[in-house]
Amino acid sequence: MGDELDKTLGFIEQSNKGTIYLDNIQTLDKISLNKILEIIEHGYYSKIGSVNIKMLDCMIIASITPDSENTIALLKQYFPTIITIPDIEQRGMFEKNRTNPIYIFKRICSN
């Protein structure tokens, strides 16, 4: 069974030498989170059900929609760097204008 698994390219393997974006990682099971952490820490992984180790060089960007502080605390155990982006209501007027679609459209048209 391990040989059959190694023949198919999963989305993690396809991201080699590139970037992978994982959305809502708080919904992943602990096995998958551990696999991602293995890639971050060591640069290699093995597919679930396979014994073969594969090297992987990619940038991993992940996002969450936290439902509680417990979710954030759990994910901090897995991921070394967390960047928090405040809600648009919490940002200053300058930044609100810069993220406004009308502002962006005017900037594109002026170039």
pLDDT digits (tens, 9 = 90+) for 66-85: 676 777 777 777 666 777 77
Mean per-residue pLDDT for 87-94? 70
User: What pLDDT is recorded for position 31?
Assistant: 83
User: What pLDDT is recorded for position 65?
Assistant: 76
pTM: 0.56
From CA 47, how far away is CA 51, in angstroms rounded?
Answer: 8
User: What pLDDT is recorded for position 1?
Assistant: 47
Tell the burial category of 20 from Cβ atoms under 10 Å away from its Cβ (0-12, 13-18, 19+). Answer: middle
Residues 6+ apart with CB under 8 A from 88: 96, 99
Confidence of residue 103 (pLDDT cuts 50, 70, 90): low
From CA 105, how far away is CA 64, in angstroms rounded?
Answer: 28
